[in-house]
């Protein structure tokens, strides 16, 4: 009986089939023996809210802001009762000018001509109002276009209002206490000072317009940053630009010296950074509100254990 000779490819295919069957059986056995895989961690985007919630006690915040604003309104409306009748910081001894070189030099470089100073004064009022309103308006636009509700807009606005109100009230107290003579009064002749005396003549230190503008701009920028608004860089740029312009115009109008403006700007920035961060920084409620979030995933494998870390850093 003759035996048919098998083709070499036929034997190779049978061997491959046998090997594949063996691997399938072993793999099925390994899957039966291995523990079930843990559930997949949630997407990284779910670990952090898009707009973190700020700390804010509505009753306390409104009460504090109202108290500061009432203090400002009362002292301003009764300025003639609180303002000093004569300068305590006069920058002169008798009729001898003792103004420091920095203030004298900056005034000489930037003060506008006498006929244009009222215009500079009016423009400074416009820019300070614009600085106060631009931040809350831009933050409101950012909040609404990025899906936040009106409650978020309200809290953002109240934080800025609280910061500005605190700065205005303290500024009034310092002005009445220090009683620095304003530049326009300082450079008058003695007869002119007596004839043109005004309740505002000795309220130069420090610049309230500048402090208001910088405190509003900085606090609005801090809120935008803490909320993670996409428009945060715009809020900072617009606000700080208007605040800087306000400071310049106060010098141009001959209402303040450079040191008055620099002090107002420094304190405005300090208030704008400190009050929102210290009292209203984002809440921390577990991993979802943390600045740094991480999640561990442990997955056993036949060859060992795999440790995975996902999160935002």
Q: Classify residue 9: in a domain, yes or no.
A: no
pLDDT tens digits, one per residue of 268-294? 999 999 999 999 999 765 544 444 343
Contact yes or no for 165/235 (Cβ under 8 A): no
Q: Where are the beta strands (DSSP E) in 153-285?
A: none
Q: Classify residue 278: in a domain, yes or no.
A: yes
Count how many domains the chain has. 1
Structure token pair of residue 63: 């009460």
pLDDT reported for residue 242:
98
Averaged pLDDT for residues 226-237: 96
Q: Classify residue 283: in a domain, yes or no.
A: yes
At 303, the pLDDT band (50, 70, 90 cuts) reads low
Q: Classify residue 305: in a domain, yes or no.
A: no
CATH number for the domain spanning 188: value is: 1.20.144
Helix, strand or coil, per DSSP, at residue 98: coil
Q: Classify residue 30: in a domain, yes or no.
A: no
* Nearest alpha-carbon partner for 136 in 248, 249, 229: 229
What is the distance, to the nearest Å, from the Cα of residue 233 to the centroid of all Cα atoms in its chain?
10
pLDDT at residue 93 is higher than 50: yes
Q: Classify residue 20: in a domain, yes or no.
A: no
pTM assigned to the model: 0.75
Q: Classify residue 268: in a domain, yes or no.
A: yes
pLDDT tens digits, one per residue of 172-204? 999 999 999 999 999 999 999 999 999 999 999
Q: Classify residue 26: in a domain, yes or no.
A: no
List, as own/partner pairs, every contact residues 44-50 make where C-beta atoms lie below 8 angstroms and the sequence separation is at least 24, other chains included.
44/310, 44/311, 44/312, 47/287, 47/288, 47/293, 47/295, 47/311, 47/312, 48/288, 48/289, 48/290, 48/293, 48/312, 49/288, 49/289, 50/146, 50/147, 50/228
Domain coverage including residue 189? 57-288
Q: What is the mean pLDDT of the chain?
A: 83
């Amino acid at each position: 009986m003759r035996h048919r000779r098998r083709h070499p490819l036929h034997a190779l295919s049978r061997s491959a089939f046998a090997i594949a069957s063996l691997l399938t059986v072993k793999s099925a056995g390994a899957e039966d023996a291995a523990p079930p895989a843990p559930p997949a961690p949630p997407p990284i985007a779910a670990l952090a809210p898009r707009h973190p919630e700020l700390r804010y006690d509505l009753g306390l915040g409104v009460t504090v802001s109202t108290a500061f604003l009432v203090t400002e309104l009362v002292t301003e409306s009764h300025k003639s009762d609180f303002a000093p009748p004569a300068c305590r910081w006069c920058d002169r001894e008798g009729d001898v000018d003792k103004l420091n070189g920095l203030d004298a030099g900056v005034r000489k470089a930037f003060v506008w001509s006498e006929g244009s100073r009222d215009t500079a004064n009016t423009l400074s009022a416009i820019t300070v109002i614009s600085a106060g309103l631009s931040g809350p308006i831009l933050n409101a636009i950012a909040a609404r276009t990025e899906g936040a509700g009106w409650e978020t807009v309200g809290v953002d606005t109240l934080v800025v209002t609280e910061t500005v109100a605190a700065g205005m009230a303290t500024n009034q107290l310092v002005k009445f206490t220090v009683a620095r003579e304003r530049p326009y009064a300082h450079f008058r002749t003695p007869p002119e000072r007596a004839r043109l005396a005004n309740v505002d003549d000795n309220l130069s230190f420090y610049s309230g317009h500048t402090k208001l503008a910088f405190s509003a701009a900085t606090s609005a920028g801090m809120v935008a940053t803490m909320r993670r608004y996409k428009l945060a860089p715009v809020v900072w740029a617009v606000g700080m630009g208007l605040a800087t312009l306000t400071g310049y115009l106060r010098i141009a109008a001959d209402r303040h010296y450079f040191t008055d403006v620099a002090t107002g700007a420094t304190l405005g920035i300090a208030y704008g950074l400190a009050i929102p961060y210290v009292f209203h920084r984002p809440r921390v409620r577990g991993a979802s509100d943390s600045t740094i979030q991480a999640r561990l995933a442990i997955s056993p494998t036949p060859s060992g254990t795999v440790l995975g870390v996902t999160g935002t850093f």
